[in-house]
Amino acid sequence: MNWMRRTALGIGIAFGLLFLTIGIGEGISKGFGGIPSPEDCVIFLFGPISMIAATAVAWGHERIGGWWLITGGIVIGILFTIRLIDRPMNLLRTFLILSLPMLVAGVLWVLHAKKLAQA
């Protein structure tokens, strides 16, 4: 049962830092020019920042952090579906890299909390 907690923590930290690095790297490569669109701000807020914060919250409050990760994964999936609907392969790749890790980590946190409550 402890493997769920460790796996969810590893996914949250690894992918959160990866997303944050990609987001900052993209900003640097574009020279931080101009004001980002509201959609980009929401993606950045619900993506890397949310994943790191939700993982930190889940360390102490598993159910809250888990549902936060699940919600963030769904929001990111919807936003990228809107953006990449005409490019299905890019959409699939983006879903597998961004949304799926958030959903898996969130489900693992929630399942672990449920098993602890039953025990």
The pLDDT tens digits of the residues spanning 62-96 come to: 999 999 999 989 988 888 888 888 988 888 888 88
Residues 12, 69: contact at Cβ < 8 Å?
A: yes
113 pLDDT more than 70: yes
Please report which confidence band the pLDDT of residue 106 belongs to, taking 50, 70 and 90 as the band edges: very high
The pTM (predicted TM-score) of the whole model is 0.83
**Pick from 3, 1, 2, 10: which is nearest to 105 by CA?**
10
pLDDT attached to residue 70: 94
pLDDT attached to residue 74: 92
* Mean pLDDT score across all residues of the chain: 85
Q: What are the structure tokens assigned to 88, written together? A: 């299905």
114 pLDDT more than 70: yes
Please report which confidence band the pLDDT of residue 34 belongs to, taking 50, 70 and 90 as the band edges: low
